[in-house]
Amino acid sequence: MRVVIVGSAHDAAAYGCDLFLGQLHDKPTSVFGLATGSTPLALYQALIDAHRNQGISFAQVTTFNLDEYVGLAGDHSQSYRHFMQRNLFDCIDVAPENTHVPNGMAENAELACAEYEAQIMNAGGIDLQLLGVGRNGHIGFNEPSSSLVSRTRVKTLTEGTIADNARFFADGEYQPSLSLTMGIGTIMDARRVLLIATGDSKADAMRAAIEGPVSAACPASILQMHADAIVVMDEAAAAKLRNAEFYRFVETQRIKLAAKSSAA
């Protein structure tokens, strides 16, 4: 696990954008795993800006989103499909048929999950998976106690996650308590994983994920076992790390080594 501490949420988004654009440059047909929520919004805006101002094309890209609420149609204002259309897909040149979000309205949810897994495999697997993290350490909608080898499935949300997301729903509006989510095993199959965490509300989760034991109690901790996981945090999210200065030193040395290799 590579730990990168940056000055601000804006810097974290810029770092993530550079990773996505680098992946796209190396492989225009890249398969991206995407996330929703407030954390990736600045990154998505940076990708939109790159498309509009630099001519970066996403025409050959395929995307798979982490999750979707059960019971919300794709055109519902609080569905994750709607979120992605509004905040990314409608603003770049990605082919609509190449964007995938779990079907929250599927008649047979278990079958829909199995089909989603098959779609990812048929696309060749995910090259770069973007993650946020919940205050309880969840990734996707894999709440604490989720199997660390789980696949795409139906999950019940914790009361804390429901409360955190309640701000997106109007008073009296139906708020789902179930989701379809990529499993932790599915996420771990991605060739590279990028987790972005910003704000002091994520500090406890990040300490557990980075410096605690690998445990289903903190699903994000499984990234310690990934061969190419990058965790990018602003200062607020990194505030409770015991070894923050060492992580900064390691990253400085990595940058120096990369520069030396490029010069050679």
Paired tokens of 62: 């395929």
Name the domain count of the chain.
1
Helix (H) / strand (E) element for 26: namely helix 9-26
CA–CA gap between residue 59 and residue 92 (Å, rounded): 8
CA–CA gap between residue 97 and residue 140 (Å, rounded): 22
What is the domain range of residue 246? 2-263
Give the torsion sign (CA, 24, 206, 169, 41). Answer: negative
Average confidence (pLDDT) over 68-73: 95
The catalytically annotated residue of 68, 100, 127, 143 is: 143
Exposed, middle or buried: residue 108 (CB in 10 Å: 0-12, 13-18, 19+)?
Answer: exposed
Question: Does 143 qualify as catalytic in the annotation?
Answer: yes
Structure confidence at residue 260 (pLDDT)? 83
CA–CA gap between residue 235 and residue 39 (Å, rounded): 15
Per-residue pLDDT of 183-193, as tens digits, reads 999 999 999 99
Given pLDDT bands bounded at 50, 70 and 90, which one contains residue 81? very high
Per-residue pLDDT of 141-166, as tens digits, reads 999 999 999 999 999 988 888 888 88
Per-residue pLDDT of 164-176, as tens digits, reads 888 888 887 888 9
Given pLDDT bands bounded at 50, 70 and 90, which one contains residue 129? very high
Is 220 in contact with 205 (CB distance < 8 Å)?
A: yes
Exposed, middle or buried: residue 173 (CB in 10 Å: 0-12, 13-18, 19+)?
Answer: exposed
Q: How many CB atoms lie within 10 A of CB 227?
A: 9
Structure confidence at residue 174 (pLDDT)? 85
Q: What is the CATH number of the domain that holds 22?
A: 3.40.50.1360
SS (H, E, C) 90-102: HHCCCCHHHEECC
Per-residue pLDDT of 215-261, as tens digits, reads 999 999 999 999 999 999 999 999 999 999 999 999 999 999 988 88
Question: Does 251 qualify as catalytic in the annotation?
Answer: no
The catalytically annotated residue of 68, 100, 127, 138 is: 138
Which residues are CB-contacts of 151 (< 8 A; sequence separation ≥ 6)? 113, 117, 182, 183, 185, 186
Question: Does 107 qualify as catalytic in the annotation?
Answer: no
Helix (H) / strand (E) element for 34: namely strand 31-34
The catalytically annotated residue of 65, 103, 127, 136 is: 136
Give the torsion sign (CA, 149, 151, 154, 160). Answer: positive
> Is pLDDT above 80 for 264?
no
Q: Residue 218 carries which side chain, given as an amino acid letter?
A: C
In degrees to the nearest 10, what's the CA dihedral of 88, 89, 93, 96? 170
Structure confidence at residue 13 (pLDDT)? 98
Question: Does 138 qualify as catalytic in the annotation?
Answer: yes
